[in-house]
Structure formats: C-alpha cells, structure tokens
Structure 1
Amino acid sequence: MSIQSHLQELKRRHQAIEQELNRELAHPASDPVRIAELKRKKLVLKDQMTKINGSSTLH
C-alpha cells in the first residue's frame, strides 16, 4: 500500500468516525463513554495522518 493510499484510508476512517460521533451527539440519550471512545479513535487517526504527512515531506 502506498503512502498516499494509506493516508486516504485514514482520512476515510476519520470521516466515518466523525459521522458516527455526530449521530451519537444528536441522540438524546447519548452514551458519554461511547462519545469519549469515538473522540479518542478520531484523535489517534489524526495523529497517524499528521505523522505520515510529516514523514512524506521529509523525502
């Protein structure tokens, strides 16, 4: 898998989690533990994307 395709997959997963998070937040009886878990997953993906972008600019 190329760096670019890996980055695209991370972006796709990040967007999917964002949509799931928005659905959870819109729900009147949202689960705070689930919201925290989704936010953590989003942050991990963002960190991975930042790391890839930083390493790809070094080459």
Structure 2
Amino acid sequence: MTEEELRKRLTALRVEHRDLDAAIDALTSTGGPDQLQVARLKKRKLLLKDQIAMVEDYLTPDIIA
C-alpha cells in the first residue's frame, strides 16, 4: 500500500472508532439489558485501536538516536 492509501485507511479507522464510541455511549445511556452487544462493540473498538496504532507506527519513520 502507498502512503496515501495508508493515510486514507487511518482516517477510515478513526471514523469507525469514533462511531463505535458514540454507539457504546448510546447503548449505555439507555440502560438497556444488552450488555453482550456493548461488550462486542468494546472489543471491536479495541481491535480498531490496535489497527490504528499499527498504521501510525508504519507511517512514522524510525529515528535513530
């Protein structure tokens, strides 16, 4: 993948992460009994966070100290 494609992927991952955060907030604020759904969304959010970190690390050049 080119750097531009990686940057687009990073933006998409961040948007999805933000959307999941809003969905989790909405589910928890209603106090519904669907804790399984909340747990699944939180797990997906963590996976996205890991993917975001990987792409950011790839885009950030290593600096030799």
What TM-score results when the alignment is normalised by the length of structure 1? 0.89
Matching of residue 4 in structure 1 with residue 7 in structure 2: yes
Report the counterpart of residue 25 of structure 2 in structure 1: 22
Q: Runs of 5+ in structure 1 lacking a partner?
A: none
User: How far has the Cα of 1:39 moved from its partner?
Assistant: 0.3
Percentage of identical aligned residues: 24
In the TM superposition, structure 1's runs of 4+ consecutive aligned residues that sit over 4 Å from their partners are: none
Q: Runs of 5+ in structure 2 lacking a partner?
A: none
User: How far has the Cα of 1:58 moved from its partner?
Assistant: 3.3
User: How far has the Cα of 1:29 moved from its partner?
Assistant: 1.9
User: How far has the Cα of 1:57 moved from its partner?
Assistant: 1.3
Give the Cα–Cα distance (whole angstroms) in 2 for the partners of residues 48 and 58 of structure 1.
17
Q: Which structure has the bigger radius of gyration?
A: 2
User: How far has the Cα of 1:5 moved from its partner?
Assistant: 0.6
RMSD: 1.4
Give the Cα–Cα distance (whole angstroms) in 2 for the partners of residues 8 and 30 of structure 1.
32
